[in-house]
Structure 1
Amino acid sequence: MVFSPLHDGWTLEAVSGPVPDDLAARLAGTRLPATVPGCAHTDLLAAGLITDPFDGDAEAAQQWIGSTVWRYSTVFDWSDDGSDRHDLVAEGLDTVARVELNGVLVAETENQHRSYRFDVKEALVAGANRLTITFAAPVTEVEARVERHGALPHVNHHPFNMLRKSASNFGWDWGIDVATSGIWKPIGLDSWSGVRIASVRPLVDVTDEGGVLDAHVELEWAGGEGAGGGSTEVTVVVDGHRASSAVTAGEASARLRLVVPDAELWWPRGHGAQPLYPVSVTLSTSPDEPWEARVGFRTVTLDTAPDAHGTPFTVSVNGEVVQIRGANWIPDHAFLTEMDAARYRRRVADAVDANMNLLRVWGGGIYESHDFYGACDEVGVLVWQDFLFACAAYAEEDWLAGEVEAEAREAITRLSRHASLAIWNGNNENIWGFVEWGWRAALAGRTWGDGYYRTLLPRLVAELDGTRPYSPGSPYSFGDYLHPNDHRHGTMHIWDVWNDRDYTAYAEYPARFVSEFGFQGPPAWSTLAAVVHDEPMEPYGHEMLVHQKAEDGNLKLERGLRGHLPTPTTIDEWHWATQLNQAAAIRFGVEHFRSLAPLNTGTIVWQLNDDWPVVSWAAVDFDEHRKPLWFALRAAYEPRLATIQPRASGLSLVLLNDTAAEWLGVARVRVVPLERDSGAGAGAGAGRVAVDVPVAVDARGASPTLLPAELVAGLDPATEVLVVDLDGFGAGRAVWNAAEVVGQRLDPGAVTATAVLSDDSDGDVLVTVTASAYARDVTLLVDRAAPRATVDRGLVTLLAGESAVFRVSGAGGVEPERFAADDVVRHAGALAGVAAL
């Protein structure tokens, strides 16, 4: 078997479409150099024919690209090596394409989410061969399908649901509209004879025997299923253990069971280690061409059996309940070919460093690269994988259904090797949409996807991967006569908060499992300023709103500040206030939901990442800056969390202990003035009143303790806070602000900062921040001093007299003092000095 990549010598030409007048002459009859894998947008950018699509208002000026037919062409040399088959293998074509070899039509495709293999032996010629792939204009194509098949309900402006293409590629409420065309995954010529391994599903289990590998090997014979003569032996090897099976010519599959008696279990992070075992599958007829992967031995179950409170959604790995602390994942770049293994690893590291143990791959994106799932395998981050249906009705007729089944079969097979993959989910919000968004009347009895979610997909998961649970949708209540977004049952999404209500309304939901909820905030200042050039820059500037895709998004940001933070009067104050409010909102929600354990079994915040520079719900912006929200999540997702929550019986300290060891100790409860109490001495530990309360919490448990009523009742919200210190437990402190920032007498000048170069790290800067009064949410916006700088901590609250040291990396030669400047060192109290409009 010889695989020859065909990635060189490609050109790109515009075949037809609304090319702008200033480019028509340059593109007419012109073949531009093209990069494969790649897309038309990135090739046009490389040729200098368009500006950066993410910059300013380039999005509007470049809409013609998605309405243009593009043709990729290359010429390659070929000579017959005597192989029985010569297959053109395209791992990813985006999307509706005609594939021609030497003028012969060899295939027509219409699914970005599938790979393709075509026998092109009859079309090949000795010497030079010309391969062309012509892509239908994606925007024109979906509109034409509406005309042919009739409109189906969907969000956003393009009918993305008419085509098996990444939904968010047509734009989303956080995503740029750059409907792409191109060869987005590797392509090449595969020459082979006899038999080849078509696919392997290495399904795992754990029994009394040890780790069990059930290898399902699919084979393809050069002569087809009826191939006569010959045979091969399939061998599977794991950790020195071996199993073999003879296969006669024409047999399409083999199944081998192999036991690894001493296999160590794979665990999600926080529950154990992540041992991965190499798997090798070979054929005796081609022993030098193994199929290779890694597996982890574990079991995954999902409990949705009704209980006294409704319907749980409880994930267990190896029989141990996992309290989910997660985030939703979207494609990490609007141009998918710009993502590489290193970028995937950095994003997964962002999740790990924020104490997350699950990422949900959202249904409006893609089935991600093995690089993503492999990174999650290695660090123990569970993956919830949506099938690719989001916020729309999808036809179940033949023109779409065949593609749906083909892509689902391939996705299940391809991803089955990954230990991290824990849940298959049928769709994002489509069942909810049918029930509540007015779809039923608009559909008037037409199909809308229900057959996929309740019949086809669960059948395929059961057939191809019975080792993982399946959920029909998110949100979903696991009952035919239940509202799909009922907080008492299964999973729920909370979007009235952000869209309509203040974030304190999260406290009204005693939810079993929240798989989507979020609150917006801008990206880092350097990320925003690099692409928004309004003069002056302001929240409602033209280019600012280009980079705000949510409906009335900046109005909602403004409304969300009310009652929490003073009204900003400058763009700098707006930026800091809205970032801070985003962090406060999500921390409030996460701590509330976690405090409900064991009733609540998990939260998946919307969202971890961005796919371009934009004001959004992300915790990490497109330029890879960790926003204040990220620091809030790291704190709220601590395995051991102390949070103060109002309860019917009074204010309570709730301890969450997601570790394997119980904890016993003393909670020192104090009422502390915002200003330094001169009568209490210089020590930061002083307080007007203090009470010691014994506390304890079981391993993997939760424990509420009612706080002393006399301390709570006597608290002055404007001038005092309640502080609980727990030596040796998690972060060791919980603070109750009985008033919002607007209701506290905070000192705008409460902190001073000094900065020096670190002695133990090349180029790092140490910034020491000291509080002369209560300093709430001290954060260093280090990118204002150096765009690539990072900082190790944020949202640090200091009592009067306390100090904190922040380590800044990537200073890039900037003088240390710059990181101690007022526009870098921010805190909530600084906003207290902002005059209301």
Structure 2
Amino acid sequence: MTPRHLSLHDGWTLTADGPVPPALPAGGVPAAVPGCVHTDLLAAGLIDDPYLDDNEERLGWIGRTDWTYRTDFAWAADGHEFTDLCFDGLDTVATVLLNGTRIGSTANQHRSYRFPVRPLLREGTNTLVVRFTAPYTYAEALRDKLGDRPGAYAEPYAFIRKMACNFGWDWGPTLVTSGIWRPVALESWTGHRIAEVKAVGDLDGDGVPRLSLTLGVDRAGDGPLEASVEVAGERAVFTVPAGEDRAAVTLPVPGAARWWPHSHGEQPLYDVTVRLGEDAWNGRTGFRGVGLEHEAFRISVNDEPVFVRGVNWIPDDCFPARITRQRISDRLDQAIAANVNLVRVWGGGLYESDDFYELCDEKGLLVWQDFPFACAAYPEEQPLYDEVAAETRENLVRLAPHPSLVLWCGNNENLEGHADWGWQEELEGRTWGHAYYHELLPALCAETDPSRPYWPGSPYSGSPELPPQDPTRGTVHLWDVWNRVDYTHYADTAHRFVAEFGFQGPPAHATLRRAVSGPLSPGAPLMTHHQKAEDGDRKLLEGLGAHLPQPVSFDDWHWLTQLNQARAVAFGIRHFRSHSPYCMGSIVWQLNDCWPVVSWAAVDGDGRRKPLWYALRAVYADRLMAVRDGALHLVNDSALVWEGALRLTRRSLDGTVLAEETSAVATGARGVTRVPLPPAIAEPDDSTREVLVAELGDLRAVEFYEEDTRLALPAARYDVTVTQGDESGIGYRVTVTARTLLRDLALFPDRLDPAAEVDDMLVTLLPGERAVFHVTGAVLEDPEALGSRPALRCVNDLVDG
């Protein structure tokens, strides 16, 4: 008989197990499944939106309260032998009861659960109850039992297998959730069923695509079972031996094409069908080989080294059940449009949804997956050790089919914390995670998913005996910049691979205005609530350094700190890429935000692109010109030779050419060429009044000899025309013609309409040049306002020449 699936998402109610600040109705409040307590209370109008103002501060009681979810459902005998109650995700410490009988308990958000329930089901109405123990109650009790551990925050997230950033981070709110956060269903079956499929598409020793498949079964009898697998026109029949619950087969797939990251090729994907009697499993995979050179930390796909142009990914919402496939797709499209080719799923969050990895497969985005450990010493005692083992096995199998997934990483910053943050004295010999990162996780990866490399943590230099932050090997995280030193210090060292670095900037003005009802000014109480970093506002201003002037108004603060964020990160990436192939990757902290906040993100909590996003698009492009150490570096991360006539000019700020050099250049595919700057170009007569311009084909780089605060920038003069509508659907076309040099011209249409977006930003124009900005999504009463402050800005606005 064909297995039967019955979703149990309707009719749920939520009640608190004890008194709580809002008065809940006697019968509870309607509950959405999948969902969580916060979103149910919000939907019922019992709490204010935790993302707005400082509402978060009044909701801490939710994570310290026990909660009960309850529903009734109809059931009738269906002719099957077995029925299982299946939870794809419970957050986190729960007891499950069916018709008053306890059927199991859970303590791990990162796992799914299956409970056999056939004898407990009744004809007619059945009652399902899930009781959640407060996360704080569980985690603090385990902390008291095992002894405290050091970490970045005074929260007990290391003592519960739950999304760590729920407990707050230096960019996120403290919103400690409970709930049925992934689907729940009854599944009925007879005789035998497919319990698990691990499908890995890679290449054999001769480079031929192959599918390595392991099938796990649940069965009622002991006899042999016949199964089959089909992919890309190939089929194999194999047997699960008598008395066994597992079988493996390897199927050559010579007709399949190789899967590549989008920066290197196409992304062919192939449907996989596994059959066991009347039960079937349907999935999809791609075929590619993955390699990692450890010392150089060079990731290769299909034996071709890939310079990683990466971003770090955090959970896109504090309440993950709200994240739709379309929202993930939109966010990943923003990454691809910024020329990103790898997303690192950070260890303080989650193993992401199937939608996430499927979309990365389709779009050609490589995935580096951290295991969920971040910024703390994690105890290895029970029950945590077995929970970690179980979640790891499950997710290794679940994610195995995805060609986009190319690296498993043991943790975020815990190796560095133990080595360099004083943890060893605080631990006094207690466990801290070493056995996870160097024993359990690598063993499980080798056993379950040997097709992908495993790396114990980041930063990490390849051996526990080496300092974690050795720039000559492995990965580094660069946080002296932002915390202590100017961003020009990115250029002090050539690193092998920079897995984390970044600089803060505020979100879009429309995002701030939606989230903060009070005055928009740094230091205002409600604004301060949306700045979670220690001394964040001070570091924003200090980070302006000599680069940009100190602001005197909120509008100028917003513009300058956003611009400085973009410049800082772009400076670092130009440096890292110019050292390729010695350096083979940079992963910016971070792509996205989970709520409206001043942070390191390129895309803010409302999904709006900050100036940093536009800077990333430029410096992560296939081809880049970077001035460093008296030379112009031509970075060509494309499959074709980059050649042509390179024109270098030194000009006065009024555009007059003071010196000019032209030469024929050619940079090979995936290569870098160093072109020394001729003295006539490298040495200005007056550094405050001159600019270097490099042009090669349709690419141009403009470099100033001095910081903006020392430049004799002219007062901005330009002509603006705004035209409305055209056949391509563009709402407004804003044409700016420069009458003087304009430094980093930017248009912020969200200042006029929160729905508006612009296609380009941070454009430097020489006198007489023109830029055209296309604005979409806006309906403006006064379109001409696009041509003046606060919508249209440039550095000349603020620098006194």
| 2:269 counterpart of 1:276 | yes
CA distance in 1, matches of 2:287, 2:378: 36
Corresponding residue to 1:293 among 275, 283, 286: 283
Structure 1 residue aligned with 2:218: 220
Counterparts of residues 413-492 of structure 1 (less than 5 Å)? 413-492=397-476
Aligned partners of 1:14 and 1:28 also within 8 Å? no
Task: Measure, in 2, the Cα distance between the counterparts of 1:51 and 1:421.
Answer: 38
Kept in 2: contact 1:209–1:261 (CA 8 A):
no
TM-fit CA distance, 1:447: 1.0
Choose 598-607 or 758-767, whichever is displaced more. 758-767
Q: Which has the higher mean CA deviation after the structures are superposed, 481-490 or 754-763?
A: 754-763
Q: Does 1:408 align with 2:376?
A: no
* Aligned equivalents of 2:610, 2:451: Cα separation in 1: 37
Query: Is 2:751 aligned against 1:779?
Result: no
Q: 2:759 aligns with which of 792, 804, 815?
A: 792
Q: Residue type of the partner of 2:462?
A: F
Secondary structure of the residue aligned to 1:141 is helix
Partner amino acid, structure 2, of 1:10: W
1:470-496 residue CA offsets vs partner (Å, 9 max, x unmatched): 100001100232100111111000001
> 1:285-364 maps to which residues of 2 (within 5 A)?
285-286=277-278, 289-304=279-294, 311-364=295-348
CA contact (8 A) 1:302 1:469 kept: yes
Count of paired positions: 798
1:55 to 2:74 alignment:
no
Task: Give the Cα separation in 2 of the matches to 1:808 and 1:80.
Answer: 59
Q: For 1:638-787, what aligned pairs fall within 5 Å after superposition? A: 638-645=621-628, 647=629, 651-677=630-656, 687-728=657-698, 732-787=699-754
SS at match of 1:94: coil
For residues 257 and 562 of structure 1, what CA distance do their matches in structure 2 show? 59
Match of 1:3 in 2: 5
Corresponding residue SS for 2:603: coil
Partner of 1:308: none
Q: Is the 8 A contact 1:10 1:36 kept in 2?
A: yes
Quick one: distance in 1 between partners of 2:702 and 2:196?
Answer: 55
Counterpart amino acid of residue 276 in structure 1: L
1:653 partner amino acid: L
| Consecutive unaligned residues in structure 1, runs of 5 or more | 305-310, 678-686
Letter in 2 for 1:411: N
Please give the residue correspondences for 1:804-823 in structure 2 after superposition, counting only pairs within 5 Å: 804-823=771-790
Structure 1 residues 28, 809: CA separation in 2 closer, same or farther (over 3 Å shift)?
closer
In the TM superposition, 1:554-703 aligns within 5 A as: 554-645=537-628, 647=629, 651-677=630-656, 687-703=657-673
TM-score (norm 2): 0.98
Corresponding position of 2:162: 165
Find the aligned partners of 2:308 and 2:259 in 1 and give their Cα distance: 17
Task: Give the Cα–Cα distance (whole angstroms) in 2 for the partners of residues 184 and 530 of structure 1.
Answer: 27
Whole-angstrom distance in 1 between the partners of 2:400 and 2:721: 52
Question: 1:209: Cα distance to partner?
Answer: 7.0
Could you tell me how far 1:27 is from its partner in structure 2?
A: 1.8
Larger deviation, residues 770-779 vs 167-176: 770-779
Contact 2:241/2:247, CA 8 A, preserved across alignment: no
Q: Is the 8 Å Cα contact of residues 716 and 742 (structure 2) preserved in structure 1?
A: no
Please state how far the C-alpha of 1:709 moved relative to its aligned partner. Answer: 1.2
Q: Give unmatched runs, 5+ long, in structure 2.
A: none
Contact 2:712 2:800 in 1 (8 A): no
The question of 1:73 aligning with 2:70 is answered: yes
Q: For the structure 1 residues 754 and 71, does the alpha-carbon distance in structure 2 shift closer, same or farther, using more than 3 Å as the test? A: same
Residue number among 105, 121, 124 corresponding to 1:124 in the alignment: 121
CA distance in 2, matches of 1:169, 1:344: 19
Cα distance in 2 for residues equivalent to 1:136 and 1:551 = 32
State whether structure 2 residue 482 is matched by structure 1 residue 498: yes
Give how far 1:147 is off.
1.4
Q: 1:512 and 1:177 mapped to 2: Cα distance?
A: 35
Q: Which amino acid aligns with 1:301?
A: G
Cα 1:162–1:715 change in 2 (3 A) is farther
SS across alignment from 2:648: strand
The amino acid of 2:406's aligned partner reads A
Residues 750 and 592 from structure 1, CA distance in 2 versus in 1: closer, same or farther, beyond 3 angstroms? Answer: farther
- Matched residues in 2 for 1:479 and 1:448: separation? 17
Matches of 1:414 and 1:753, distance apart in 2: 54
- Report deviation, 1:85: 1.3
Q: CA RMSD in A?
A: 1.4
Q: Which amino acid aligns with 1:747?
A: P
2:142 maps to 1:148:
no
The answer as to whether partners of 1:753 and 1:825 remain within 8 angstroms in 2 is no
Greater CA drift, 751-760 or 441-450: 751-760
1:233 corresponds in structure 2 to 226
Q: Is the 8 A contact 1:715 1:721 kept in 2?
A: no
Specify whether residues 322 and 814 from structure 1 end up closer, same or farther in structure 2 by C-alpha distance, changes over 3 A only: farther
Deviation at 1:695, TM superposition (A): 2.0
- Distance in 1 between the 2:541 and 2:684 partners? 33
Percent identical among aligned pairs is: 49
Question: Of 189, 193, 197, which residue of structure 2 is paired with 1:196?
Answer: 193
User: 1:135 corresponds to which residue?
Assistant: 132
Q: Which consecutive aligned stretches of 4+ in structure 1 deviate over 4 angstroms post-superposition?
A: none
> How far is 1:833 from its partner?
4.9
How far apart are 1:667 and its partner, in Å? 1.4
Shift of 1:814: 4.6
Cα deviation digits, residues 316-359 of structure 1 (max 9, x gap)? 10010101100000001111011010001011101100011000
Partner AA of 2:747 in structure 1: L
In structure 1, distance between residues paired with 2:709 and 2:202: 55
Q: Which residue of structure 2 aligns with residue 35 of structure 1? A: 32
Give, in angstroms, the shift of residue 250 of structure 1: 3.7
Deviations 1:355-404 (A, max 9, x none): 11000000000001111111111121100000000001111112210000
Conserved? CA contact 1:747–1:830, under 8 Å: no
Which moves more between the two structures, 811-820 or 32-41?
A: 811-820
- CA deviations 1:706-763 (Å, max 9, x no partner) are 01112222342211111111124xxx11121111111112234233322111322235
Aligned partner of 1:100 in structure 2 is: 97
Give TM-score scaled by structure 1 length.
0.94
- Alpha-carbon distance change, 193 to 446 in structure 1, aligned in 2, over 3 angstroms: same
Residues in 2 aligned to 1:819 and 1:43: alpha-carbon distance in whole angstroms: 41
